[in-house]
Amino acid sequence: MRNVAIVGIGQTPVGELWEKSIRHLGHDAVVAAMHDAGIETADALYVGNMLSGELAGQEHLATLIADFVGLRGIEAAKVEAACASGAAALRVGVMAVASGQADVVIVAGVEKMTDTPIDETTAGLALAADQEYEVAEGATFVALNAMLMQRYMHEYGVSHRDFAPFPINAHANARNNPFAMFRSPITLDKYEKATVIAPPINILDSSPVCDGAAAVVLVPLERAREFGRHKRIVRVAASVTATDTIAIHDRRDPLFLEAAYLSSQRAYAQAGLGPEDIDLFELHDAFSIMSVLSLEACGFAPRGRGIELGQSGAITLGGKIPITTMGGLKARGHPVGATGIYQVVEAVQQLRGEAGANQLPHAHVAMTQNIGGSGATIITHILVGEE
Amino acid sequence: MHIARNWRVKHQRYSLTGEICHHCGAKVFPPRDVCPECTQPAYEPVRLSGLGEVYSFTTVYEAPTGFEAQAPYHLALIKLVEGPMLTAQLTDVDPNEVRIGMPVEMVTRKLSQEGDEGLIQYGYKFRPRIQAKAA
């Protein structure tokens, strides 16, 4: 197997992008990544997307985007794994380059969610849950996460207000990210007074419905110097997918994200690293509770104490384990199938030293984690910056 | 719409029929033909008691299509006395009474409706346990 490097990144702004169709979003991100890598062609394009058929009425998405960026003729395929579609596509791209099947691979994540009325988008997102035994009973995605948060508060005796540092940190970091959807800071007071959607979850616990696209270019590590003009090369040190039951009620312990545990443990083993080596963690903060459960399952805190990493400031840019350094799903935005690639693009910015005002002084090892459903597909990547 | 899809799960929806594993004795719901405890085949149907308690809950204010008429409604994870957990709505309940650990029992209610002329789906919901008081 060959080592794989990321030599190009591109992203579109995240938001309600009514002037852009799904093909144009994909086009903009792919062209930006190709420009960043200094390439004019590629062997393959893999596109992570969850809802193009449901919300944009367009399947066969990767071939469409390949055509619209002038790459007609290359291999192209869409990869779907609910909200983890972006990282799932990256995993396919990594396997293609590592195995020697392809040398230059573009991986994009694309999602268009704001053309449709909100109840259609909500119903689309619920397709990631168990249709016969969760959705048929009236479950929504917010409701499933709300039940996890409620149980967490009950089991560990914490209050809703204890979760505030997570969205506050995300919004603070998005302020300096020109691609982020919400660039305004929020306060504890604003968090406590926010509209409740499904108690205890309120609007500021939740990532927004939005549009966006991001892309990366992968090549074999030994050829990385031929591409782009970046001082630091970013190596993919680990790429791991793990799964759990789709329905929360089928899990032995709903408050333990077993797929996050499995994928992070296998990723640590692949990279020869541990949680103590991770300089930043782009985690999947679709809801505040997910950040806490992810930090616990990945070994950054014992069970029931992940929430303390918020209160102590450990998750901030100056803390021990900075998360959502460019705004995360909460404030950069969560265009579902694109999110996994946004996370990687932002991690590469940090590792290259291109994160602007949010640049961490010692960013050598970054971890990204993309979650599909309420914890059913969890994909972890570890990226290492090399001189 | 979706008639066959709903017809296939009628025993689960109307009579809470799961499966029993003859290898380890676990009761399984929803039925999946493979025991989640010991991974051995589990095919024999078994009707569950419908008794359980609330593991967690929330209130759905923004209901998905087909559920609008009922909103707001309580959604809960119910831990059945036989072991399995399931997702279901709470019904016939005072909103201030709902709590984790509350004993509940299954009842059959209307779940959702596909417009004025579409299919009406029925299935299990759970209400505060009445049987226990009578006993």
- How do residues A174-183 score in pLDDT, each as one tens digit? 999 999 999 9
Report the distance separating Cα A292 and Cα B128, nearest Å.
32
Residue ranges of E strands in B2-119:
17-20, 27-28, 44-47, 51-60, 73-80, 85-90, 103-113
Tell me, yes or no, if A132 comes closer than 8 A to chain B by beta carbon: yes
Number of separate domains in chain A: 2
Residue A125 lies in a domain: no
- Clarify whether residues A330 and A184 are in a common domain: yes
- Clarify whether residues A228 and A350 are in a common domain: no
Q: Which helix (H) or strand (E) holds B14?
A: helix B10-15
- Clarify whether residues A221 and A172 are in a common domain: no
Please determine, looking at this structure, whether the domain spanning B49-135 carries the CATH number 2.40.50.840.
yes
Inter-chain contact B30–A140, Cβ cutoff 8 Å? no
Inter-chain contact A147–B56, Cβ cutoff 8 Å? yes
Q: Specify the pLDDT at position B65.
A: 84
For the cut 60, the answer to whether the pLDDT of residue B1 exceeds it is: no
pLDDT one-digit tens code per residue, A131-171: 999 999 999 999 999 999 999 999 999 999 999 999 999 99
**CA-CA-CA-CA dihedral for A61, A63, A64, A68, to nearest 10:** 140
What is the share, in percent, of chain A residues with pLDDT greater than 70? 100
Q: What is the mean pLDDT of residues A249-273?
A: 98
Within chain B, what is the greatest distance between any pair of CA atoms?
47
**Chain B residues in contact with A123 (beta carbon < 8 A):** 64-65
Measured in whole angstroms, the distance separating CA A110 from the mean position of its chain's CA atoms is 12
Q: Specify the pLDDT at position A36.
A: 97
pLDDT one-digit tens code per residue, A117-140: 988 898 899 999 999 999 999 999
For residue B30, is the peptide bond before it cis, meaning its omega torsion is within 30 degrees of 0? yes
Tell me, yes or no, if A138 comes closer than 8 A to chain B by beta carbon: yes
Q: What is the mean pLDDT of residues A198-212?
A: 98
For the cut 90, the answer to whether the pLDDT of residue A258 exceeds it is: yes
pLDDT one-digit tens code per residue, A314-372: 999 999 999 999 999 999 999 999 999 999 999 999 999 999 999 999 999 999 999 99
- Clarify whether residues A154 and A263 are in a common domain: yes
Residue A133 lies in a domain: no
Please tell me which residue of chain B has the smallest CA distance to A127: B64
Residue A27 lies in a domain: yes
Residue span of the structural domain in which A317 resides: 140-206+237-386
Mean pLDDT over the full length of chain A: 97
- Clarify whether residues A281 and A269 are in a common domain: yes
CATH of the domain at A107: 3.40.47.10
Residue A130 lies in a domain: no
What residue segments make up the domains of chain B, in order of their start? Answer: 16-47, 49-135
Band (pLDDT 50/70/90 cuts) for residue B122 is very high
- Which member of A123, A132, A197 has the closest CB to residue B64? A123
pLDDT one-digit tens code per residue, B63-93: 888 898 899 999 999 999 999 999 999 999 9
Residue A219 lies in a domain: yes
Name which of A132, A249, A258 to mutate to probe chain B: the one with the most chain B Cβ atoms within 10 A of its Cβ: A249
CB atoms within 10 A of CB A363: 21
SS3 annotation, A208-254: CCCEEEEEEEEEEHHHHHHCCCCCCEEEEEEEEEEECCCCHHHCCCC
Residue A254 lies in a domain: yes
ipTM of the prediction = 0.96
Band (pLDDT 50/70/90 cuts) for residue B131 is low
Report the distance separating Cα A341 and Cα A262, nearest Å.
21
- Structural domain ending residue among the three candidates A233, A248, A281: A233
- Clarify whether residues A32 and A147 are in a common domain: no
Residue A357 lies in a domain: yes
Q: Specify the pLDDT at position B3.
A: 85
Which amino acid appears at position B15 of this protein? S
Instruction: Report the range of poorest mean pLDDT among A190-204, A350-364, B104-118.
Output: B104-118
Instruction: Report the range of poorest mean pLDDT among A3-7, A252-256, B1-5, B18-22.
Output: B1-5
Q: Specify the pLDDT at position A264.
A: 98
pLDDT one-digit tens code per residue, A71-110: 999 999 999 999 999 999 999 999 999 999 999 999 999 9
Tell me, yes or no, if B122 comes closer than 8 A to chain A by beta carbon: no
Q: Specify the pLDDT at position B135.
A: 46
**Chain A residues in contact with B73 (beta carbon < 8 A):** 138
- Clarify whether residues A90 and A191 are in a common domain: no
- Clarify whether residues A215 and A308 are in a common domain: no
- Clarify whether residues A164 and A272 are in a common domain: yes
Inter-chain contact B112–A138, Cβ cutoff 8 Å? yes
Residue A307 lies in a domain: yes
- Clarify whether residues A375 and A358 are in a common domain: yes
